[in-house]
Structure 1
């Protein structure tokens, strides 16, 4: 502290000392990005290790990312260099000799990912009591990133298994961005005793926030093609790519180049291909001006070396560097001081926007700067309702307003994640050289990690695993790895509880159209939007990851296609508020103000403040102002009662008029949604998590519904609309 020139501790750092110094309680430290959470935890934790030297002391630090471990290793090594406390990073890129040294003398700070910790359990199960005997704390970094995911379930299970191995409860310390519902973090960190956790919530006020959202009009395709044809007749070397580049994207790239050059910035388009497009365009603009390139792409498909090049350029800061990136730069890897965060298109969520903006304005006295760029189409008689209501722009405005108000999406924590339980059963059996059903219950479920799993569910799961040859049972009742289970446990991919979102290839008449990630329930006959056209799903091949489609009728699809992100109820309600108001929005430029005004005129003209169903006698739009978990569930329930419809984001497209739609909603309002079989029988893509293929169908349905649908919310909204009570 002396060498760093600190004159005081931040509030969270001060409050953490009495909470952590005794290693006798669970603690959550919640603060904004760059608020000193790492020091808040480790100053008292390291003091504890130094105060009591009668036995060796160790800390298990668990992080979601290898890159973050490398970053924290550097930071903690500097903190510990005078204390003679070793700091050891443990992941796939760390040498075996360094790991071996820790195993021989397990003390100090061990930085590890959940996957590497899982590998320790599987491969060194018998030696773990010795490895973990000196543990005094379990520290989980970026706690909020784990809640509500398969990986989070794995982490909860692993923390409990560590305590089972050492034979005592260890203080758990969670480091998190501030959460709207802190109770979710408490339940996650200690499922069986959340109320005993000490919560330290930093009250440090954020710095000034400067926001501008710019609107852009996308010219009609016919005009772009016509202009392109004129150029081609005069320029023989013109290419088809120029058609794509002649719209609003070029204007956005030009503005980014103009306002961002000379500083460090982050630019977030919503799609990987747009990351590449903007990186290429901005680099070309640098070349055209004869200046050094300042723009670097950063996404998960790039090689580690290329990603690290971008990170080094940002960290160096001189010359200036901007990264065009996906979510890869959202979490807490240190990339130095960022001046501006640019969001191209609508943010995926308020929480994501908040995480991104936490990168900006870290220096004292500097504001955080957010620049938004929204593309909308010229309205015609054929325009989709989404375009008429300027869905992308209005959603962006709603999310920024919620961000300023301090609201963001709570993690969806009710998921059953039975897939992860399959992995944890196999891992525990491997660790112990065999386990009974009772041991699996006590070690994995009784602790609260899988709170929605009953004893009956576990027996059904184990029976299914036996049928899949994942496990076998010997004459004494001991469960052992089966033939397939043995092979999978020994595979290097076993340790991860999750799979990345795989993209499905779209085929039409055997010809590929491209690929897209699918995060929504998918049924045959359903319509989807891709490549600026509407398609009907004819077949889904889960193993080959192929969707066979045919063209379907309909007007021009909307500019805004929902991006695949699951939008929360609160965001859609805020969109309703944005549209119902008349006052100008203070952070929109002139073009965006004009687009918002068009959307408000449509909202009032259709009477969407008073009614939920608009359209013709043969087709209608059902506007619920609910999020996608509710809308996806409502679309499934309407299809279940014979009404063809799709969730289009802000509204449901229904192939019937208002009267038939209301009648169907009354039927939905009376449904018993506890019987999942008939409701989900036509959903083709329920296998979403890594081990879902091993689940018996009843458990698969419950697990899928718990993570991806709000069926009860859908029944409730159907009742409100059908009774004309929805306001």
Structure 2
């Protein structure tokens, strides 16, 4: 069994088994050997059996999967009808692959079947599923969309018996556009099935579970019963003082470079299995290569490695002992990589929630504790780590906020509905998403789709138009099933074996470089032998030594969020993170405080004029807030700048008097940042929106209005260095 299943260690829960189907209860006791259920599993039973919506909140390995499945399978056992009664949705395919054997075992005890359907499942397997419809279907939102719009799937027959859905890692959906897409698809599924769908979300880490529940319920919030079930989970705001530090052995070290990080990892905890997280694919590759040079058995996992390459690495890591796997967040979400001893974090993740997921991969064996070693490779990463650990020490987790103004998802859904249904009445389409927030302002978008030829009208009926065929019709409209635009990448092949994909900028190279291009991929150095620019692929051969380069488009990462950057400010002002720190870390913190002494002030923010006349406002508010402030201040801010997390440049002509006037004027109304037309390329389906609406959507996503408003209320003081 995967450790996530969590055997019930409390015999007091035995009586709660009476609510379960007798066969299921028998197998829990006799097959799994559980004396009873965990607190979360006990509390979830009555409401889920009664059909309530819920958010189940527990630490990683807290038994959330069983807490949802056991009562939902019990309800399923009393139903008749063909086709899936339960959907189990995950944000990543690997997690679905990992869960399938458990779900098949549980449903099999009741004589029911479970199957897997996602992008890597073969056409033959899909045809088999359509012939012999399973009772439980594990899938992704994108695959649900493809089933609804496919001419090969009778979606009404397939989903006629659907009653409930489990959304695993629900916070991972809610924080981006995939969440809005999922909610919109659920509304369509409910209409196809002819009933409201019971919704159960699972999460290990979220700071606002009540808001998350209301979001997951969609238009049903308030009209359908729902509850947050989180026994023993206590979350506090950033200003609250904890009764005691969070459990776990956490240490912060400053090593100064990625090469030094490899040296430390190679020398520590030999004989143990270590999982190292990096928050860039480039760092994964460079660290993996360095570890191998130190003689460490090393495996790699990130999204630009070929699927087979990732699977081989993860399988080998699960079976080995004295080894390291270096990964991005691909291994954050509960995938089983065997019996793990240590987690190491390079610099810091962007959120406390991510850290909780990562440290939760350890301490699953009896007699062990959760642990994480932070290795900072530069000062910026060190301060981010210190700020994040300060928040963690206060038991604070950031709230999950849905992405604002998802108009492009409304456009995508309207086009998908026209593919799904042979006839969509022009005046009745809102009924498919009745009450779901973004669609209440969908009329201008629908009118634009008709005007521009994305949708044709025939006697008041809507159907796919020629412009939609032109832009999204490739390979049976597969572009419509995904809500993200991926930057272009070239497939790297060694013979017929796919290694992964690389940024085309690496293949173009630098004219000053001589000789063949060298790439770093899968932790190895490759020489590029030929580039097929038309088919977007390159052929490589392995070579000894170094010199390989790794690079990928970061996707326009804007920097840290408001609360994390403010926590860094608190650390610079003298607050120590509640973790063990090495002497190197202690020295690095003292140095950082000295260097930033004039850039932070406990009574507010600081405006500093340098000797060269440069005027900077040190807000420590995060890049989004600073971008918003720069726009709001107008002429008082320097228009030629790219604000960072810590500061923004002001008009050098300002003095304390004119600054006070500019600040007072800005407090009247915070203004959203302006966006360039070129930036719209990163917003998928923007072509299906009027340009002004696409710009408003992107502008709202660049902004931090609350953070900007908070800074404008703080006192500021002028300094000259």
TM-score normalised to the size of structure 1?
Answer: 0.78
- 2:360 matched residue in structure 1: 358
Sort the Cα spacing of 1:27 and 1:255 in 2 relative to 1 into closer, same or farther, 3 A.
same
SS at structure 1 position matched to 2:443: helix
Contact 2:175 2:403 in 1 (8 A): yes
Q: CA deviation at 1:201?
A: 0.9
Partner Cα separation in structure 2 for residue 179 and residue 25 of structure 1: 20
Query: Is it true that 1:213 corresponds to 2:252 in the alignment?
Result: yes
1:128-167 equivalences under 5 Å are 128-167=155-194
- 1:426 matched residue in structure 2: 415
- 1:343 matched residue in structure 2: 345
- 2:645 matched residue in structure 1: 649
- 2:238 matched residue in structure 1: none
Q: CA deviation at 1:681?
A: 5.7
SS at structure 2 position matched to 1:685: helix
Partner Cα separation in structure 2 for residue 685 and residue 513 of structure 1: 30
Contact 1:30 1:178 in 2 (8 A): yes
Sort the Cα spacing of 1:716 and 1:82 in 2 relative to 1 into closer, same or farther, 3 A.
closer
Sort the Cα spacing of 1:640 and 1:128 in 2 relative to 1 into closer, same or farther, 3 A.
farther
- 2:259 matched residue in structure 1: 250
- 1:662 matched residue in structure 2: 659
- 2:697 matched residue in structure 1: 703
Q: CA deviation at 1:13?
A: 0.8
Q: CA deviation at 1:185?
A: 1.5
- 1:5 matched residue in structure 2: 33
Query: Is it true that 1:14 corresponds to 2:42 in the alignment?
Result: yes
**Which deviations, in whole Å up to 9, do the C-alpha atoms of 1:470-510 show, x marking residues without a partner?**
11222x22221111313524233321122236699889x99
Moved more, 344-353 or 123-132: 123-132
Contact 2:163 2:196 in 1 (8 A): no
Q: CA deviation at 1:307?
A: 0.3
Query: Is it true that 1:279 corresponds to 2:282 in the alignment?
Result: no
Which of 658, 674, 686 is 1:680 aligned to?
Answer: 674
Sort the Cα spacing of 1:256 and 1:467 in 2 relative to 1 into closer, same or farther, 3 A.
same
**Which deviations, in whole Å up to 9, do the C-alpha atoms of 1:82-109 show, x marking residues without a partner?**
3221111112332334433433443411
SS at structure 2 position matched to 1:491: helix
Q: CA deviation at 1:365?
A: 2.3
Partner Cα separation in structure 1 for residue 81 and residue 463 of structure 2: 41
Contact 2:83 2:160 in 1 (8 A): no
- 1:480 matched residue in structure 2: 463
Query: Is it true that 1:329 corresponds to 2:368 in the alignment?
Result: no
Query: Is it true that 1:435 corresponds to 2:464 in the alignment?
Result: no
Partner Cα separation in structure 1 for residue 47 and residue 646 of structure 2: 45
- 2:127 matched residue in structure 1: 100
Q: CA deviation at 1:308?
A: 0.5
Q: CA deviation at 1:53?
A: 5.0
Contact 1:665 1:719 in 2 (8 A): no
Partner Cα separation in structure 2 for residue 144 and residue 584 of structure 1: 26
Partner Cα separation in structure 2 for residue 114 and residue 562 of structure 1: 22
Which of 376, 389, 392 is 1:400 aligned to?
Answer: 389
Partner Cα separation in structure 1 for residue 717 and residue 608 of structure 2: 16
Contact 1:643 1:664 in 2 (8 A): no
Q: CA deviation at 1:121?
A: 0.9
**Which deviations, in whole Å up to 9, do the C-alpha atoms of 1:187-245 show, x marking residues without a partner?**
2211223343121114279984111111134xxxxxxxxxxxxxxxxxxxxxxxxxxxx
Partner Cα separation in structure 2 for residue 216 and residue 691 of structure 1: 44
Query: Is it true that 1:593 corresponds to 2:595 in the alignment?
Result: no
SS at structure 1 position matched to 2:138: strand
**Which deviations, in whole Å up to 9, do the C-alpha atoms of 1:335-364 show, x marking residues without a partner?**
122221111123222222222111111112
Partner Cα separation in structure 1 for residue 607 and residue 655 of structure 2: 9
Partner Cα separation in structure 2 for residue 155 and residue 300 of structure 1: 22
SS at structure 2 position matched to 1:191: helix
Q: CA deviation at 1:576?
A: 2.1
Moved more, 327-336 or 435-444: 435-444
Partner Cα separation in structure 2 for residue 127 and residue 604 of structure 1: 66
Contact 1:62 1:111 in 2 (8 A): yes
- 1:447 matched residue in structure 2: 435
Partner Cα separation in structure 2 for residue 588 and residue 636 of structure 1: 40
Contact 2:559 2:645 in 1 (8 A): no
Which of 602, 605, 612 is 2:606 aligned to?
Answer: 612
1:54-203 equivalences under 5 Å are 58-124=85-151, 127-195=154-222, 196-203=225-232
Sort the Cα spacing of 1:702 and 1:137 in 2 relative to 1 into closer, same or farther, 3 A.
same
SS at structure 2 position matched to 1:399: helix
Partner Cα separation in structure 1 for residue 510 and residue 272 of structure 2: 45
- 1:635 matched residue in structure 2: 630
Partner Cα separation in structure 1 for residue 413 and residue 568 of structure 2: 41
Partner Cα separation in structure 2 for residue 282 and residue 83 of structure 1: 48
Number of equivalences: 618
Sort the Cα spacing of 1:715 and 1:11 in 2 relative to 1 into closer, same or farther, 3 A.
closer
Query: Is it true that 1:626 corresponds to 2:621 in the alignment?
Result: yes
Sort the Cα spacing of 1:640 and 1:87 in 2 relative to 1 into closer, same or farther, 3 A.
farther
Moved more, 613-622 or 422-431: 613-622
SS at structure 1 position matched to 2:174: coil
Moved more, 166-175 or 201-210: 201-210
Contact 1:398 1:575 in 2 (8 A): yes
Q: CA deviation at 1:605?
A: 4.5
Partner Cα separation in structure 1 for residue 304 and residue 83 of structure 2: 42
Which of 574, 597, 620 is 1:581 aligned to?
Answer: 574
Q: CA deviation at 1:427?
A: 0.6
Query: Is it true that 1:307 corresponds to 2:290 in the alignment?
Result: no
Moved more, 714-723 or 459-468: 714-723
Contact 1:416 1:703 in 2 (8 A): yes
Q: CA deviation at 1:683?
A: 6.7
Partner Cα separation in structure 1 for residue 674 and residue 689 of structure 2: 15
- 1:522 matched residue in structure 2: none
SS at structure 1 position matched to 2:119: coil
- 1:266 matched residue in structure 2: 275
**Which deviations, in whole Å up to 9, do the C-alpha atoms of 1:447-470 show, x marking residues without a partner?**
31xx14544xx2321232234421
Q: CA deviation at 1:604?
A: 3.7
Q: CA deviation at 1:602?
A: 3.6
Contact 1:662 1:722 in 2 (8 A): no
1:558-573 equivalences under 5 Å are 564=557, 566-573=559-566
Q: CA deviation at 1:600?
A: 2.3
Partner Cα separation in structure 1 for residue 578 and residue 608 of structure 2: 27
SS at structure 2 position matched to 1:647: coil
Give the gaps of 5 or more residues in structure 2. Answer: 1-27, 235-244, 490-502, 514-535, 537-553
Q: CA deviation at 1:435?
A: 1.7
Q: CA deviation at 1:670?
A: 5.1
TM-score normalised to the size of structure 2?
Answer: 0.79
Sort the Cα spacing of 1:85 and 1:510 in 2 relative to 1 into closer, same or farther, 3 A.
closer
Partner Cα separation in structure 2 for residue 72 and residue 601 of structure 1: 50
Q: CA deviation at 1:54?
A: 8.0
Moved more, 680-689 or 75-84: 680-689
Partner Cα separation in structure 1 for residue 715 and residue 699 of structure 2: 23
SS at structure 1 position matched to 2:294: helix
Contact 2:169 2:204 in 1 (8 A): yes
- 1:289 matched residue in structure 2: none
Moved more, 650-659 or 148-157: 650-659
Q: CA deviation at 1:119?
A: 0.9
Partner Cα separation in structure 2 for residue 512 and residue 34 of structure 1: 52
Contact 2:299 2:317 in 1 (8 A): no
Sort the Cα spacing of 1:570 and 1:41 in 2 relative to 1 into closer, same or farther, 3 A.
same
**Which deviations, in whole Å up to 9, do the C-alpha atoms of 1:532-578 show, x marking residues without a partner?**
xxxxxxxxxxxx9xxxxxxxxxxxxxxxx999354222222222221
Sort the Cα spacing of 1:125 and 1:26 in 2 relative to 1 into closer, same or farther, 3 A.
farther
SS at structure 2 position matched to 1:146: helix
